Amino acid sequence: MDFLYAPWRIRYIESPKKEEGCIFCKAASEPDGRYVLHNDGVSFVIMNIFPYNPGHLMVAPIRHVGSFSELTNEEILSIGNMVKKSMDVLKKTMNPEGFNIGVNIGLAAGAGIRDHIHVHIVPRWCGDTNFMPVTGDTKVLSEALDELYKKLKNNW
């Protein structure tokens, strides 16, 4: 899918194409510049830098684990609390009319990163799927990631 305006992608374009290691493990241990909104020591919230919609967040355990069944009760509780808080912050910051929340487990389910489980939180608005993605295969994102990150961080 093409983007009409995505100035933050220049870092991706100019960066080495294959970063070694797990992106979630790196974000948990080296959060600077990775759009991490909060880390409670058990799980953390990070912005998706290639979002389905503006404000698309992900919650992941700090521990590198690929299956929901491998999560501890503490991790499940932490992730649940982080999802709830993320929704509250998104409501306050962006006023979405709904949310899609999901976990893609395994290649067949569409998991892009299969070895570190994470929950997607995608804010939705009535009409956010319009003619652009349908006829032009283009998604319009109306706000730069850096600006949105600052707003979400301030409201955390």
Kindly list the catalytic residues.
118
Calculate helix-pair angle for 145-155, 73-94, nearest 10 degrees.
Answer: 110
Q: Which residues of 129-141 are buried (b: 16+ CB within 10 A; e: fewer)?
A: eeeeeeeeeebeb
- In one-letter notation, the amino acid at residue 142 is S
Residues in the chain: 156
Yes or no: say if 79 and 59 are a contact pair by the CB < 8 Å rule. Answer: yes
